[in-house]
Structure 1
Amino acid sequence: MNRIEGLIERAKQAAGSDHFGPDGWQEGLERLVHSAERDARHTAMGAAVFDGMVVDLLRQRLEVESWYARHPEIDDEQIVAPLIGLGLPRTGSTAFSCMLGEDPHVRTLRTWEPMQVCPPPEKATYASDPRIALAEASMKVRNERFPRAKQMLPSTATSPTECQLLMGMDFKAQIFQAMHQVKSYVQWLHFEADLKSTYRWVRRVLKLLQWRCPSDLGPHTHWRLKNPSHILWIDDLDTVFPDARFWMTHRDPADVITSVADLYYEYTKPFTDSVDMAWLGAINIEYCEEGMKRVIAFREGGHDHRFFDVKFAEFQTDPWPSIESLYRWLGEDFTPEARAGMERWRAETPRDKHGSRTIDPADYGLDKQTLRARFGFYRDRFGV
């Protein structure tokens, strides 16, 4: 039994099932594991963490399919016109997403949910689900293992999160490169991978999550989602979610890329005997440049009306004009309850709540003036 077969067997044993659902996940898994073996320079702990992550994602996939097998009516659920945040990372998108998630009338993906999707949540116990406490315990361990994590990505068990783990269940996601130096996998993911099966899987899980826990705004569940990496696969995303609307936050790429590289470094260093810092800088230039070119082409190909833009500096100074304009653009009421929740979140989550750190771009082979010139196409397009 080879390594991949062993990981699959461990997942089957953990889930008590062997039906993984629609095909599409196998190629990503094979490329990921082979890349980890060739490129990652894992320590013993790093290899164990990597294998555990893969097994857990496979187990969750099996459990989702078990629920569908027992309750085929779940597939009748509809995901209608989700609002999806995308763009460059480290542009204030987390804060914007968290504020939108405070609207009690919408549905968002909260940190604890993709950590353990099944059993699907129920509306009556959504706020008291025992998995919230389990997620809090897990995040405490995370903060001990990655001391600067809460400084760089402040979050709680109930704050909105990206769909990275859901995409990871199809083994085509950036979550792997944030923790492991899977170089050949990243090259494939950025330039060759077809993510339509991944987005179909995300839609499948969202149906399960809203099945017993919908939002209460209108006849359909209103999802508020966010994942900056969608810019790389915007055409595949559109194929699966053709009625989606999007918001984008914008910031100087010279600041963005250095910050993301530093975040990757924080998550990678416990698991390897050698961090390739220049590679961390290079792959984030590649991701941001290629992704933004693709999303600009998509917008200019007849989809610009589906996008709402937010400038980082303006939002940081005063978030309310952007949020009020977004609600008008959506044609939805910005209720007093929604504003009160957002005001409470903002008061409880000040900037640099857990401190800050000065990063030297040169550590990652980066130069801000060179980056600004390279991303001139983006800065001109969005007035950054």
Structure 2
Amino acid sequence: MFKQWIHNANSISRVALSSAPLCAAELLSSARARTGLHDFGPEPIEDALNQLQTAVHEEADLNLFGRVSTHWDNLRLLTNLLILRDRELDDPTILQRPITQPIFVLGMPRSGSSFLHSLLAEDDASFTPRCWQAIYPYPDHPAAGRRAGPNKVQRQFDFFHRLAPDLRNVHPFDALTPQECTEFTAHSFRSLRFETIYHVPSYKRWVQQAGHVQGYRTHRRFLQHLQGSRATRCVLKCPDHVFAMEALREVYPDARVIFTHRDPLKVLPSVARLTEVLRRPFAKRIDQHAIGHQVSSDWANGAQQIVAADKQDLWPDKHVFHVHYKALTAAPLDTVQQIYDHFGLEFTPSFRERLREHIARKPTGGYGRNVYRFADFGLRPDEERGRYRDYMAHFGIDQEVVVQ
């Protein structure tokens, strides 16, 4: 244990003082030395990790905390891969576990998707991964570290909330909150999670060119571990699935897909603010206008892809359900009932009662009251309204923001 502590301390000092990023080979070697394990699994990761390391070092303008925390985050992901593979070598049947008809919630961010995800997670017949499980999938494994598990994750989250106090109102979560899927694809180092937390345009372009199929294979493998030996329906959520729908369909051909929709003019400044809050602890400087431009460009593209997927029948109609923010927030229980009816799922009395209790506890999903200004992020409401006119018309989305 003392030798591992010395190794960890030396690693932190090197990262903090270095003017160059550690290459993937060095990070892999460090993870192996920390854990005593050697096999990272069947998917190649070095190229993607090198791309991420270069982009973070050259473009993200990290402060000291950002450099150290990014290093540890990468080592955590690599450690998880080593642990997953160690379990697979002990029990090869893990990779044969079926993931049948998983439900994915995707669509516009800040459109009630987290609220809906938390409601669907109340069904005992479903498996919804929690935040702590994505961070420590096997807390009892010797390589996971001391006291790994939900309590340790909550302490880590409490620390981060002190660094980013606005996060509780903008995006409330704790160790037991249902987790977004980008945490699973992050283990492939081909994930949109990284370009939310860091300004890394070159890495973003590389992922777009390399594609997302490998990331979703890692996603599926992660689920096979988390759900255990009992096959059950997985309920998953992330708005960013919009940018990888072809890969999602390839890896999960029988998926059930729920699109959430909202007036983009309510979405954009909120997403920009969340991005700012997430990046600020890690970066020396934050360019709000650059964030606004990125968010506007990304989701104008995302809206077009959602429309195209609907027009092209990317999934059969019986596998797709559309939810509007206003309908969800006005009648959440009825909305979930409609989803279950559409997908032919059993809506049990016990599930209904848990939904009632959840809605009474968190009628707004736990969000505080937030006010965002377009001008803070260099956005003009009239221009943004034009970008999304086709999307709103196609899905019949009501305006929540009146443009003068």
Taking structure 1 as the reference length, what is the TM-score of the superposition?
0.91
Closer, same or farther: CA 253–24 of 1 in aligned 2, 3 Å: farther
CA contact (8 A) 1:97 1:160 kept: yes
Contact 1:249 1:312 in 2 (8 A): yes
Match of 2:396 in 1: 383
Q: Does 1:3 align with 2:22?
A: yes
Return 5+ residue gaps in structure 1 as ranges. Answer: 122-128, 215-219
3-state SS of paired residue (1:169):
helix
Residue 51 (str. 1) matches residue 71 (str. 2)? yes
Deviation of 1:120 after TM superposition, in Å, equals 8.2
Inter-partner Cα distance in structure 2 for 1:327 and 1:282: 38
- AA aligned to 2:256 is R
Alignment-derived partner of residue 168 in structure 1 = 186
Q: Distance in 1 between matches of 2:148 and 2:65?
A: 29
Give per-residue Cα distances to partners, 1:112-139, cap 9 Å, x unaligned: 1101112589xxxxxxx97222222222
Task: Tell me the CA shift for residue 66 of structure 1.
Answer: 0.9
Larger Cα-atom Rg = 2
Q: 1:311 pairs with 315, 324, 333, which one? A: 324
* Corresponding residue to 1:152 among 167, 170, 177: 170
- Aligned residues of 2:139 and 2:149 also touching (Cα < 8 A): no
2:342 to 310, 324, 329: 329
Supply the distance in 2 between the matched residues of 1:185 and 1:367 (Cα, whole angstroms): 28
SS in 2 for 1:84: strand
| Superposition RMSD in Å | 2.0
2:321 is paired with a residue whose SS is: strand
Q: Does the 8 Å contact 1:268/1:275 carry over to 2?
A: yes
Deviations 1:73-121 (A, max 9, x none): 1112101110111111110000000011011121111111101112589
Which residue identity lines up with residue 208 of structure 1 in the other structure?
A: H
1:346 to 1:323, Cα distance in 2 relative to 1, 3 A:
same
The C-alpha deviation readout for 1:148-181, integer Å capped at 9, x for no partner, is 1111112232221111111100011122122221
The change in CA–CA distance for 1:120 and 1:166 in structure 2 (over 3 A counts) is farther
Q: Which amino acid aligns with 2:75?
A: V
C-alpha change, 1:120 and 1:77, in structure 2 (3 Å) is farther
Correspondent of 1:187 among 183, 187, 205? 205
Q: Select the residue among 44, 68, 73 that pairs with 2:93.
A: 73
Counterpart of 1:90 in 2: which secondary structure? coil
One-letter identity of the residue aligned with 1:241: Y
Paired with 2:335 and 2:366, the residues of 1 have a C-alpha distance of: 23
Q: Does the CA-based 8 Å contact 2:333-2:356 persist in structure 1?
A: no
Counterpart position of 1:278: 289
C-alpha contact (below 8 Å) 1:120/1:209 kept by paired residues: no
1:300 aligns with 2:311: yes
Q: Using a 3 Å threshold, how does the CA distance of structure 1 residues 352 and 241 change in structure 2: closer, same or farther?
A: closer
Q: C-alpha displacement at 1:146, in angstroms?
A: 1.1
Tell me whether 1:64 sits opposite 2:84 in the alignment: yes
SS at match of 2:323: strand
Decide whether the 8 Å contact of 2:114 with 2:365 is kept in 1.
Answer: no
Contact 1:109–1:163 (Cα < 8 Å) also in 2: no
Q: In structure 2, what is the Cα distance between the partners aligned to 1:293 and 1:62?
A: 39
Name the residue aligned to 1:208.
Answer: 225
Write out the 4+ residue segments of structure 1 that deviate beyond 4 Å after TM superposition: none
Structure 2 residue ranges without an equivalent (≥5): 1-19, 142-146, 398-404
Give the aligned residue type for 1:134: K
1:19 is aligned to 39
- CA displacement at 1:354 relative to structure 2: 5.9
**For residues 241 and 284 of structure 2, what CA distance do their matches in structure 1 show?**
31
Amino acid at match of 1:77: R
In the alignment, which residue of structure 2 is the partner of 1:88? 108
Q: Paired residue for 1:245, among 246, 253, 256?
A: 256
Aligned to 1:228: 239
- Partners of 2:176 and 2:107 in 1: CA distance: 23
- Measured in 2, the distance between the counterparts of 1:92 and 1:120 equals 34
Q: Whole-Å Cα distance in 1 between the matches of residues 99 and 55 of structure 2?
A: 34
CA deviation digits over 1:223-262, x for unaligned, max 9? 1111110110100111100010100111011121211110
Q: Which residue pairs with 1:138 in the alignment? A: 156
Q: Does 2:123 align with 1:103?
A: yes
1:247 and 1:352, CA in 2 relative to 1: closer, same or farther beyond 3 A?
closer
CA offset digits 1:235-290 (Å, max 9, x no partner): 01111000101001110111212111100101111221211212211221222122
How much identity, in percent, do the aligned residues show? 26
Q: Which amino acid aligns with 1:27?
A: D
TM-score, normalisation: structure 2: 0.87
Whether the aligned pair in 2 keeps the contact of 1:234 and 1:295 (CA below 8 Å) is: no
Q: Distance in 2 between matches of 1:183 and 1:193?
A: 14
8 Å CA contact 1:36, 1:182 repeated in 2: yes
Asked whether the equivalents of residues 164 and 227 of structure 1 are also in contact (C-alpha less than 8 Å), the reply is yes
Q: Taking CA–CA contacts closer than 8 Å with sequence separation of 6 or more, which of the two structures ends up with the larger relative contact order?
A: 1
What CA deviation, in whole Å up to 9, does each residue of 1:22-62 have, x standing for no partner? 23423321111111111111111111111111111111111
CA distance in 1, matches of 2:383, 2:209: 27
Partner AA of 1:292 in structure 2: A
Any idea what SS the aligned residue of 1:85 has?
Answer: strand
- Counterparts of 1:365-384 in structure 2, within 5 Å, are 365-384=378-397
